Amino acid sequence: MSIVLIGFMGVGKTTIGNLLSEHYDKSLVDIDTYIVETTQLPIPQIFEKYGEKHFRDLEYQALKKWIDQDVIISTGGGIVESELCKELLKQNDNTFWLKCDVEILFNRINHDNNRPNANGKSLNELKTLYSKRELSYNEIAFKHIDANRPREVVASEIIESL
């Protein structure tokens, strides 16, 4: 069964996924990277050309392909926008929610033009999105991890809890 990291944009899912990947000597599947590689399109272009709904479909296809494999999965922060993805994630006992204050995340992501759902957004807009998604992260995750700490500490807590 895979180990899956969920949480808002900028929380460190890929970095922590890499630490887990090294520790367990298992591959890291970054869903965003997988989509970019398979479509040969950067994420902002997928959003622009085909719309967010299409991106969510691609996320679902990717998650379905990998979730039962023996890998570490780093998801995109919006994966909980898809009910189908939520159902898959709920069935996985190793889904970890990396939790971090939205004020900290805002400074990391609001000028990132590779993140269409964050780029140019105000703190209030991001807080609204975060509050909505928080309910889903909370509902889905097997465990909540405080990600307001050094990444090595976060990874160690995940490893100890498994």
Q: What residues are designated binding site for Mg(2+)?
A: 14
Q: Please report whether residue 76 would count as binding ligand S3P according to CB under 6 A.
A: yes
Selected from 58, 63, 71, 78, the binder of ligand S3P by CB under 6 A is 78
Q: Which two tokens stand for residue 88?
A: 């898959």
Name residue, tokens 């990717």.
62
Please state the residue numbers annotated as binding site. Answer: 10-15, 32, 56, 77, 115, 133
Q: Residue with the closest Cβ to ligand S3P?
A: 76
Q: Please report whether residue 9 would count as binding ligand S3P according to CB under 6 A.
A: yes
Please state the residue numbers annotated as binding site for ATP. Answer: 10-15, 115
* Least distance to ligand S3P, CB of residue 76, Å: 2
Selected from 3, 92, 97, 116, the binder of ligand S3P by CB under 6 A is 116
Stretch that binds ligand S3P, among 17-25, 63-71, 112-120, 151-159 (CB under 6 A): 112-120
Q: Is the CA virtual torsion 67, 51, 140, 145 positive or negative?
A: positive
Q: Please report whether residue 12 would count as binding ligand S3P according to CB under 6 A.
A: no
- Give the residue with the Cβ less far from ligand S3P, 45 or 91: 45
Q: Please report whether residue 99 would count as binding ligand S3P according to CB under 6 A.
A: no
With beta carbons less than 8 A apart as the criterion, state whether 32 and 43 touch: yes
- Give me the phi and psi of 21, to 5 degrees please: -60, -45
Q: Which two tokens stand for residue 115?
A: 């993140």
- Nearest alpha carbon to residue 113 among 59, 45, 65: 45
Question: Angle at the Cα of 33 (from 31 to 36), degrees rounded to 5?
Answer: 110
Angstrom distance (rounded) from CA 19 to CA 22: 5
Strand partners, 146: 99
**Binding residues vs ligand S3P (CB under 6 A):** 9, 13, 32, 43, 76-78, 115-117
